[in-house]
Structures are given as C-alpha cells and as structure tokens.
C-alpha cells in the first residue's frame, strides 16, 4: 500500500511569498490523517513549517507519519524553502521519535508550571518592585532591539527580525507601562537593580501568566539572581490570580533550562528545525 498526500483545500498565497495548504494523508484512496504545510513564518517564504500532523489511531505505528513528513518536505522544496520547522507536543512520544529519526534539531522548548497557593519568598535582602516610567522607557528600547537580534542570530533576515519585533511589541504593549494585565518589574539587591521582568496573561481567557522577558544584567550574573527573578514572576502571577505560568526557552540557553527545571517547570512542547538539502 502507498502512502501519499492529497490537497484537501486550495493553495493560499500572498504577494509577499507566503503560502499554505491543507493536505490529507492517504493510503491508496483511504484517508488516514491530515497536516498543513505552510511557508508563511516570520522567517520569510524560504522557511516552511509542517503543522498539525495527525494520523488516525488505527493507522499509527505503520510509518504513515514518516512518509507524510518526508512528502511534506518535498512540497516545501518545490516552494523554494531551504529550511523547515516543526513543533511537537511533549506528550507525543511518537512525534518526538519521528523528529529525531528525520534529523530535526531542537531549537527551543515551551515550559509551564502550576503555581503554588502561597507566593514564594525572595532571598534575604532582595526586593522586587514595579518599573518606573524612566526604567520602562529604557527597557522597552533594549527589549525591542534584543528580541530582533535573538531572531537574527537564529537565521532570520535582519529586516524581517526588526519587523517581527516591532509588530509584536506594538501589539502586546499597546499602552506601554499601563498595558492592562501586564506587569513590568525590576529586582533590586541593596538598592541596585540587577534584573527585570515582563509578565502578562496568555492563553484562553488569559487565565495563565506568561513570562515574555526576564533577564539578569550581565554584570550581576552568576549570583543566583535569576532564581529570585523567577520567584518574583511567580509572586506577581499569584497576586494577579493566575494558577499557571509559562515561558519559552531557546535550546542553546542551557543555564536557563536548568534553572526552570529546578523550579518545577515541565516541558509542554518542543520546537525543531532542519535544513532542506
């Protein structure tokens, strides 16, 4: 029996080169699953994504997903893509195995944690407080630049990275320091600011808190302030009435990953990518 892809909807295209199309996974004429192929990521039209790949239960563990993923890569090559990205739920053991078998490299993780009932205490002599207007102005300028630079370092066109940073920050910070639901805080030790935090609601109904930005100033790293910043994030989220807190960490940030794991964060999804040769 032959596993193939069959379009299940029209090809969607834009003047900028973005494309997407849904497909059915078929064994001969029988539908056994679905997926979406897209080349409309912030990385531009030469970077594609395979999304929502799902094989019906009776046809799993028969290589259907592997053949479908390889066929999807061929579609992306035909669209001129040179790189492909996928995102796999941490609960999908088969999806994680498939990513490894097909040579995908981990690029980042989505992590989350159930918040405790009572706010955790910060270390002695450590204080968390709201950013001042002047601190916010300086932080926002740095945050926009740093976010764009982080994507440029991972292969995004610099102009596209700046546009992505501008668009996302404009949308998320519509009212700046007074954006509803958002919290902007700094961590102080003996009167010196050693780090900052941006926390806001995210998810269905805004029921959970999301760490959009957290960092210890370079000259103050290696002293345990990162842990206190994350505890400050928990305290802030609990004060807002949130029951969960989530974040994203790049795969090359091993110290942050170790910190989050030590604080009880669990991986909810893994992002991967590979070059299309």
**Residue 183 domain boundaries:** 113-269
Question: Looking at the domain assignment, is residue 275 inside a domain?
Answer: no
Percentage with pLDDT > 70 across the chain: 97
Span between the terminal Cα atoms of the chain, in Å: 28
- Say what the pLDDT of residue 253 is: 92
Q: For position 55, which CATH number holds? A: 3.40.630.30
Q: Quickly state the pLDDT bin for 14 (edges 50, 70, 90).
A: confident
* 162 has a pLDDT exceeding 80: yes
- Say what the pLDDT of residue 66 is: 96
Taking residues 169-192, report their average pLDDT.
95
Give the end of a domain, one of 81, 103, 125: 103
209 vs 141, 143, 200, 205, 228, CA distance in Å? 23, 19, 6, 11, 17
Number of structural domains the chain divides into: 2
If asked whether residues 67 and 184 sit together in one domain, one would say no
Question: Looking at the domain assignment, is residue 274 inside a domain?
Answer: no
* 206 has a pLDDT exceeding 80: no
If asked whether residues 61 and 185 sit together in one domain, one would say no
The region of weakest confidence among 124-138, 206-220, 228-242 is 206-220
If asked whether residues 121 and 245 sit together in one domain, one would say yes
If asked whether residues 97 and 117 sit together in one domain, one would say no
163: part of which helix (H) or strand (E)? helix 158-172
Give the end of a domain, one of 103, 123, 139: 103
* 41 has a pLDDT exceeding 90: no
Contact assessment for residue 85 and residue 273, using Cβ atoms and an 8 Å cutoff: yes
Single pTM value for the model: 0.90
Question: Looking at the domain assignment, is residue 276 inside a domain?
Answer: no
If asked whether residues 55 and 189 sit together in one domain, one would say no
Rounded to whole angstroms, the Cα distance separating 268 from 90 reads 5
Locus of tokens 């780090």: 195
Considering the chain, what is the average pLDDT of its residues? 93
Question: Looking at the domain assignment, is residue 182 inside a domain?
Answer: yes
Q: Quickly state the pLDDT bin for 214 (edges 50, 70, 90).
A: very high
Extract the tokens encoding 235. Answer: 């305290």
Rounded to whole angstroms, the Cα distance separating 152 from 139 reads 20
If asked whether residues 92 and 156 sit together in one domain, one would say no
pLDDT tens sequence across 45-66: 788 999 999 999 999 999 999 9
Question: Looking at the domain assignment, is residue 277 inside a domain?
Answer: no
Burial class of residue 76, CB neighbours in 10 A (0-12, 13-18, 19+): buried
* 203 has a pLDDT exceeding 70: no
pLDDT tens sequence across 218-263: 999 999 999 999 999 999 999 999 999 999 999 999 999 999 999 9
């Amino acid at each position: 029996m032959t596993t193939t892809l069959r379009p299940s909807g029209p090809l969607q295209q834009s003047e900028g080169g973005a494309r997407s199309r849904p497909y059915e996974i078929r064994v001969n004429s029988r539908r056994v699953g679905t997926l979406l192929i897209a080349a409309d990521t912030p990385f531009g039209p030469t970077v594609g994504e395979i999304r929502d790949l799902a094989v019906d239960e009776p046809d799993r563990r028969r290589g259907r997903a592997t053949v479908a993923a390889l066929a999807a890569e061929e579609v992306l090559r035909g669209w001129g893509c040179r790189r492909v990205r996928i995102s796999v739920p941490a609960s999908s053991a088969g999806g994680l195995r498939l990513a490894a078998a097909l040579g995908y490299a981990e690029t980042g993780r989505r992590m989350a944690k159930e918040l405790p009932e009572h706010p955790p205490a910060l270390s002695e002599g450590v204080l968390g407080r709201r950013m001042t207007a002047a601190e916010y102005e300086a932080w926002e300028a740095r945050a926009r630049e740093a976010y764009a630079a982080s994507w440029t370092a991972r292969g995004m066109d610099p102009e596209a990275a700046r546009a992505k940073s501008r668009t996302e920050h404009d949308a998320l910070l519509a009212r700046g320091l007074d954006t509803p639901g958002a919290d902007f805080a700094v961590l102080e030790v003996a009167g010196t600011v050693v780090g900052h935090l941006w926390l806001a609601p995210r998810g269905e109904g805004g029921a959970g808190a999301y760490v959009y930005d957290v960092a210890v100033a370079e000259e103050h790293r290696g002293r345990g302030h990162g842990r206190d910043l994350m505890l400050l994030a928990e305290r802030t989220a609990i004060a807002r009435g949130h029951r969960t807190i989530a974040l994203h960490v790049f795969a090359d940030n091993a110290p942050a990953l170790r910190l989050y794991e030590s604080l009880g964060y669990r991986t909810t999804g893994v992002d991967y990518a590979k070059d299309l040769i």
